[in-house]
Copies of this chain bind each other. A is one copy, B any other.
Amino acid sequence: MAHVNRDKKKLLTRVRRVAGQVAALEHALEADADCADVLIQIAAAKGAIHGLMMEVLSGHLAEHVVAEASPTKRAREAQAIVELLKGYAK
């Protein structure tokens, strides 16, 4: 997974931002924060997770499909991505 290596810093920054949002959610729930605000925070965390997914997917496509020399391996990886998206992108 060389692309994760290359993009590691960027991906770790994103996943830590998501971790921060989820920690803030936990504090908000513990502190009985206004639930309209909690709903907005949850939607923002979902958006941040989507951003992380797109970043990893982009790298995965680039390395395991685009840069892959074997058409058979390319086909297998591409189909695995479609299977993932069937549930993820509903």
Chain A positions within 8 Å of B, measured between CB atoms, are 1, 3-5, 8, 11-12, 15-16, 18-19, 22-23, 25-26, 29-30, 32-36, 38-40, 42-43, 45-47, 49-50, 52-54, 56-67, 71, 74-75, 77-82, 84-90
Contact = CB atoms under 8 A, between A and B. Distances in A.
Residue of A1, A19, A22 ringed by the most chain B CB atoms within 10 A: A22
Given A29-B11, A53-B43, A90-B50, A35 B64 contact: yes
Contacts of A75: 62, 66
A53 B62 contact: no
B3 A35 contact: yes
Contacts of A62: 75, 78
